[in-house]
Amino acid sequence: MSVWFSHHLHAFVLAFKRLAITPLGSLLSIAVIGIAFSLPAGIYVLLENLQSLSGQFSGEPELSLFLKLDARESAVAEIESHLEQHPHVAAFRFISRDSALEQFKEGSGLADVIDGLEGNPLPDAFVITASDVSPETLEALRAELGELPPVEHAQLDSAWAKRLDSFLRLGRLAVLMLGGLLSFSLVAVAFNTIRLQILTMRDEIEVAKLIGATKGFIRRPFLYFGAMQGMVGGAAAWLIISLGIHLTDEQLRGLMALYDANFRLYHLSLEDSLTLLLFSAWLGWAGAWLSVTNHLWRIEPR
């Protein structure tokens, strides 16, 4: 175990030295990786903040149940009991016919016209907030509750939710496509960097093979170098996103104050940040492994 650990420690230290020997080249490669990864990660952060912001302006979609005009109190009580036990109903409130008429009279400015009516044309109603606001769940809930016998009409205020959900789906697809393309560029950067190192160290590799160095011993520092370069590039992407959020957040909060909205931009979560670092390290390792596989074993002692 101590021999295995010492070999890996030696490879890690050697990879770090190679990274520090050419600071300008390493810095440029890390900058390329950081900028490349900051694009999809930055769009992901933008979508998450947009979803949070939309909740402040749009609120939660609500389902309105309008009962039949001849619905009795027993029917109202039956619906209340059904809603209290329903797993997809987070909250609801009952609006009686008389209360609805008074609210309409106060808000419409047609008090004289309403007072001239022979009766109350408005029905009793329930306004329901669902526990899951996905469009599929809301539509299923509307269809289910609309079939109840006392219900005349079920209306779902989810047009904005469907539009937002479609936009976010499209945005996430764009993030995946862009992330895939830029991941390939990271692999290409690591591949080319390791290839140049192998060509530069050709004599050293030949000597190591002559004295009996194993394939793993020769390969290990290159793999650590690729992983290290990728992870530092991921950290650079994280810093670029952090700087962008810091520069934008103050101005955005001033703008949101004009709309009486308390909003601030959120950074990548701890889980997302670790995923970014580990994924970038894995891509660097993959690029190094491909390069080593294609070039290193072509070098044989003469």
CA-wise closest residue to 223 among 284, 300, 136: 284
pLDDT digits (tens, 9 = 90+) for 86-101: 888 888 888 887 787 7
Question: What is the pLDDT at residue 228?
Answer: 87
| Under 8 Å between Cβ of 63 and 156 | yes
Give me 293's structure tokens.
């596989």
pLDDT class for 248, splitting at 50, 70, 90? confident
Tokens 């299923």 identify what position? 140
222: amino acid identity, one letter: F
Give the torsion sign (CA, 171, 176, 182, 186): positive
User: 97: which residues sit within 8 A by CB, 6+ positions away?
Assistant: 120, 122, 123, 124
Tell me: pLDDT of 1 over 70.
no
Give the chain's mean pLDDT: 77
Domain residue ranges in the chain: 2-57+162-298, 62-157
Q: Which CATH number fits domain 62-157: 1.20.1530.20, 3.20.20.120, 3.40.50.300, 3.30.70.3040?
A: 3.30.70.3040
What does the DSSP 8-state code read for residue 267? Answer: -
| pLDDT single digits (tens) 145-201 | 888 888 888 887 656 666 767 777 887 888 888 888 888 888 888 888 888 777 777
Token pair listed for 258: 């004009």
Q: How far apart are CA 206 and CA 202, in angstroms?
A: 6
